[in-house]
Structures are given as structure tokens and as C-alpha cells.
Structure 1
Amino acid sequence: MRLYLILLMFFLFMSGCAQKISNKQELLSDWQAHLDKQARWKANGKLAFISKQSPPSVNFTWQNQGDSKSPDFKLKLTTIFGTQILALTQTKSSAQLDYDGVTYLDVDAQNLLNRLTNLSFPVNDAANWLKGRPQSLNIKYDEFDRIMLASIKDNQGENWQVTYNQYVKKNGVWLPTKLNLVNNNLKIKIKMQIHSWQFN
């Protein structure tokens, strides 16, 4: 009985320590401005396309080097078995799509994606909306000043609604881990789950 009480007190103590450690992560006072300045980062996760023309679920990696004014990124989609579906790269002066064993070139990544694949995905402003900072005049916030709902428009003129369902606190800022994109005109819904964030 005494051993049981000792063990119980030990586990309660350890759980209390774990709770303190998990709550030790504090927000920067200007976390939104700090996050807006972050241009070099990487996100990994899953995409689920709810449409007839698109694959149901894929893994994605987004490697970002720029912002919406000067986009510089690489998007890679793979199957659950690791087989590459496509790799889309945008630099300041050109875009490249590696898809179905063929390399395509253009000046705009969104044009390549829409023209040559069955996937519709607002990539050009993803440097902002993917990290929870969309450029929009139609935004709803929660009690922590995190964006919960926003309307964005891609460079093809398509309207998208972004819903942020879950955030995680990392490096002093809030980062989304679950979000949905909906395009009612194209009848597309995309569910995203972000497993990891890395900032350089």
C-alpha cells in the first residue's frame, strides 16, 4: 500500500511537471507581425481533395522562400506510399511543373497547375494563408486574435473560403494544423492537416 502511494505521488508529480513544461511556451507580444515576416519555412502534412477529378488523399511538402509579392516556393505531392505525383516550383522569374514524367515550364505556377492537372489549389498566395495569415478584407477572428475564417481569391479569379479549425503554439506564434478550403464555383473542398512546421 505504501509503495502504491509513493508511485501515485511520483506520477502525479511528473504529470504536473509535464503540464508546466507544455504551458511554458509563451506567445510573442507581436506574434502576428513576427509571423508575417517569416518567409523561409517548411510545412509537411496531408491533403484530402473532396471532388470527383482529384485523388482522395495525398501527402504534401511546402518549401517556402518568399512571399505573395515575390513568390518563391516548391510544392511536392506524393501518394501514401511515397510515390511522387507532382512537384511544382515557383521562382521570381519562372515556374516549373514535373508531372506524369514530363517537365512543363511557364512564368506562373497557378497557370501550370490549373492547365495541366486535375487539381485546383490556390498556390500563389499560399505563403500567407497556409501559415494562417491570408491577405483578405473578409476575415473573422477568435478570442486569441487567430484567423478562423477568410475569403481569398487566386490569380485566376476564383474565390476560396479558408476555415482554420485548429492551431498549435510554436516558437512564440500560432500556426494552423487543420484547415479547409472550399470553392463553391468549382465544387471543390480540400481538407488539410499539417503535421510539422520548420522555420529557418
Structure 2
Amino acid sequence: MTEIISGEAVPEPIYAHWQARYKMEAVDSLEALPGSETDLIILAQPKAMDPADIAALDTWIREGGRAIILTDPMLVWPTELPLGDSRRPLATGLLSPLLDHWGLELLAPDETGSEVVELELDNLVIVTAGIGTFDLVDPANETNGQCTLSVGRVLAQCEIGDGQAILIADADFLNSGFWSDDKGWNAGQLSNAMKLADRLVSQLIGKTS
């Protein structure tokens, strides 16, 4: 809060990019979500959610809402914040109750999975680390949700009631520290990570700006 008040706080490039393209609002709770005019929810490595927030999100999506959810089982995001600091990125995703309700299980990579690698998603090559995968739990049961997995099982596209959710078992690709020397942020060109994020938004809400 001190950094925010003093003007020293600088948002991550991907967040600043989204702020410039969309009307965004950061929230601490989702209980007011049902009945709101929200077009899209983005959850990026969120902290453990209260049961009320999980229920509100699930209800909102079933009524036609759309969500992008990044849940990383092995986040490799360098930080100088000490252990116990609430601003420190979570090392692992904590959305198991929600994923289980939708028929998904998040799986962590093996011991070598924290290495920096190139990943191809939606015909874009992105640099990331700690990539997880999804598995379908009782796929024959479509009561709670119907999800299909991408090649490599890194991305899940789910039909939840009347709504949709796209889930990725990674969040490190948003870390600008992994972007190559042709970083779109500095050169005025979008990095592949930004392009991928924008494509996901466009796929769900049908607009690019």
C-alpha cells in the first residue's frame, strides 16, 4: 500500500497492457458477481478461494458468464518478497475444489519441470516454466461441466451450463522476465505471451480492443 500511495508501484507489463485495452477492475471477492454486468473474469494464480466465492463464480458461469483461469502447479516466478508476504506469488494453484466440481484434475510436472522451456499454444511459441497438465475426472459425467483438453493437456476448454471457461495449467508465461529480447512491451510490438492472452479474451468475448 505504501508503494501504491507513493506512486512507486509498477504493474506487470501484461496487466498494464490489459488496462490499456479493457475496462478492468481488481476485486477481492466474487460474491457480487452474479447479476453484475461483468463480461469476463480472469483468475491468474489466485489464492485459495472462499466457498462463497467458488459458488458465486460457478453460478455466474452457468448463467452465461465467461472466465479465463490460469492455475499453475509449479509457479517459477522470481520474487524478492519474503515467505509469508501476502503479495508473494503462490507456488502452486489452489483451485482443486472448483476444478474437481468441473471434472478436472491439475497435475504437477516432474522434478525437471521447473526448467525454462518453449511451449506452443494456439500456434504461438511462448517461453515459460513449471508447466502442469490437466486430467479429466469421470469424463462421462457431464452434469457439472464438459471439458475438452488440448494436445499435451495444458489447456482445457469447458462448457459450464450456459457459460464457458478456458483454463491453462500455467501462469509463468505472463512473467515478462521470460520474454525474449524482442519484447513487444519495449519495442511497441506485442510479445507472444500478450498475443496469447488477447486471443483467449477475444475467443470468449469476441473483441480485440
Fold-level match, TM-score > 0.5? no
Q: Which has the higher strand share?
A: 1
Higher Rg: 1
Q: Which has the higher helix share?
A: 2
State TM-score, norm by structure 2.
Answer: 0.31
